[in-house]
Chain A
Amino acid sequence: MAPSVEVPESVGDVVGALAGEGSVVLAGGTVVMPEVNTTAHDFRALVSLRRAGLRGIEVDGGRAVIGAATTLAEVGEDERLAVLRPVIESIASPTIRNLATVGGNLFVKQPYGDLAVALLALDAEVDVAGPDGASSTRPVADVLRDGAGAREVVTAVAFDVPDAAAWRYTKAMRRKQNSASIVTVAAVLGLDGGTVGAARIALGGAGAKPVRATAAEQALTGGPLDHDRARAAGEAALQDAEPFDDAYASAWYRGRVLPVHVRRALLGE
């Protein structure tokens, strides 16, 4: 049966509309609508975020707060977030990025969801609204691991905008435009002189969800950012990865190339 479509005009009304059985959040529609159009889904109601006031980008004192219904295209066009432009440009096509949203990207299955990988490396915080006016702020890692509740909706994502010198991102694709990830690597490095004081490295295409490469982070921290240490970190990244087979690449291939792409990302090669 075709689902009903609700277009609430406030977050409270979004949460209210999610109370019904079979209700699902419809943000950009790039994931939900293919299911509606082509599968035997059991959605009863699509709750659109389009008019719920969740669109917009604020950057203040180096801290970015992005409304959940902000499109990827809007992020990609924002000069204040220029450091993240390669992430946005690596995702799908401009016509999809005109619809797809920041909040929606957190709920996309791997090997999609490259922005979620970046947000994990950025240690972003996610604002979530729930029933009875409840709201909470959660680490993005928790939201990626657990999802959101059936009656909850992500309202915003916040993170410290990294310096270009500290930010690393690479995505191995089947072609230069509009391909899902073979592997994706995002990292924020705390560089103290030539020494890596701290590192957050996140991987896509390396498991059912984006994952932190904690072993790689440990391998990299406390020494210079050179070829040998970056290579060791790349090898260590396999410890946190569970590469999978799909139409884009085999698990074997993903595992084989992951260390190389981690190394290249870290060294900016």
Chain B
Amino acid sequence: MPKSYIEVLVNDEPREFLVQPGTTLLVALREELGLTAAKRGCAQGTCGSCTCVVDGEAVMSCLVPVETIQGADVRTLEGVARDGGELDEVQAAFLEGFATQCGFCTSGMIMAAHALLAENPDPSREDVVRAISGNVCRCTGYESIINAILDAAQRRKATGGVQYVEGGV
């Protein structure tokens, strides 16, 4: 079966590549683009470790055939840190709040948090729980993650909102 030619914007950078039919966004990111922050956990949309932001919405990238999102704006964890590698508020809050242990869920958690804070800069604890309800963490017990996302909202208020790296990773 012929490969498909895909053009998408990934972390502000236009990317083009060929994929086998039926390739998911997750596999395309990891195997075509070498962006391995999004993890393959369950491949069923249950664990959230592959969460990316597509056209502003947090989605499970394992459930999205990349051929269906031609031209989309995709953001992954690799496109979250600021220019020069300075961590953004969510990353910094996770690091300093010990919100990551084994790290497997962290990428998905941070992307779900990003989508939340873009839509709701001042979330309640309940809003945070709701936002990460599709993301499974088997280490932390969630409290440190929830606290880190609330902390990130406060940090972001202090620094004046989200900024992304120009030109991608």
Contacts and interface: CB of A to CB of B under 8 A. Distances in A.
Interface in A72-96: 73, 89, 92-96
A27 B72 CA distance: 17
A33 interface: yes
Contact of B44 (A38, A46, A94, A99): A38
B133 interface: yes
B58 interface: yes
B121 to A, nearest CB: 16
B1 interface: yes
B134 A33 contact: no
A33 B62 CA distance: 8
Interface size class of B (residues with CB under 8 A): 20 to 34
Interface stretch (B63-71, B85-93, B146-154, B160-168): B63-71
Most chain B CB within 10 A, of A33, A36, A73, is at A33
Nearest to B136: A178
Interface stretch (A1-9, A210-218, A241-249): A1-9
Interface string B33-74: 000000000111110100100000111101111011110000
B135 interface: yes
B29 interface: no
Interface residues of A, number: 29
Contacts of A48: 65, 67-68
Given A5-B4, A48-B65, A37 B133 contact: no
Contacts of A37: 24, 43-44, 62
Contacts of B58: 94-95, 98
Given A4-B22, A5-B21, A177-B130, A73 B4 contact: no
A95 B60 contact: yes
A5 B67 contact: yes
Contacts of B169: none
A224 interface: no
25 contacts: A3-B21, A5-B65, A5-B67, A5-B68, A7-B70, A29-B65, A30-B45, A33-B24, A33-B63, A33-B65, A46-B65, A48-B65, A51-B68, A73-B57, A92-B134, A93-B135, A95-B51, A95-B60, A95-B112, A95-B134, A96-B134, A98-B57, A98-B59, A99-B63, A177-B133
Interface of A: 2-5, 7, 26, 28-30, 33-34, 36-38, 46, 48, 50-51, 73, 89, 92-96, 98-99, 177-178
